[in-house]
Amino acid sequence: MATVTIYSTPTCVYCNAAKAFFKQKEIAYTEHNVAADVEKRKEMIDKSGQMGVPVIEIDGQLVVGFNQPKIKQLLGIS
């Protein structure tokens, strides 16, 4: 099983779509609310260079935004 982390905010439509996708596909993930957690926000920016969410990390590979084809490819699912 892949290690999946999502950096998100509660009001982000694409973050919520990504989390719904993971739930539908029964993919376990760790979520970090970067609106509330300053340390995780800094971690996300340091890793990705991005201020926007979602930033999704799958086994060390970063996906910026809800790029479903790339996420499926990294997870090895269809």
Give the range of the structural domain holding residue 69, as residue numbers without chain letter.
4-75
Return left, alpha or beta for 65; rule: phi > 0 is left, psi -120 to 50 is alpha, else beta.
left
CB–CB of 5/57 below 8 Å? yes
Confidence of residue 1 (pLDDT cuts 50, 70, 90): confident
| Structural domains of the chain, count | 1
Counted residue by residue, the chain has a size of 78
Per-residue model confidence (pLDDT) at position 78: 87
pLDDT in tens, 32-54: 999 999 999 999 999 999 999 99
**Would you call 38 helix, strand, or coil by DSSP?**
helix
CB–CB of 58/30 below 8 Å? no
Residue 8 CA to residue 18 CA, distance in Å, equals: 10
CATH code of 65's domain: 3.40.30.10
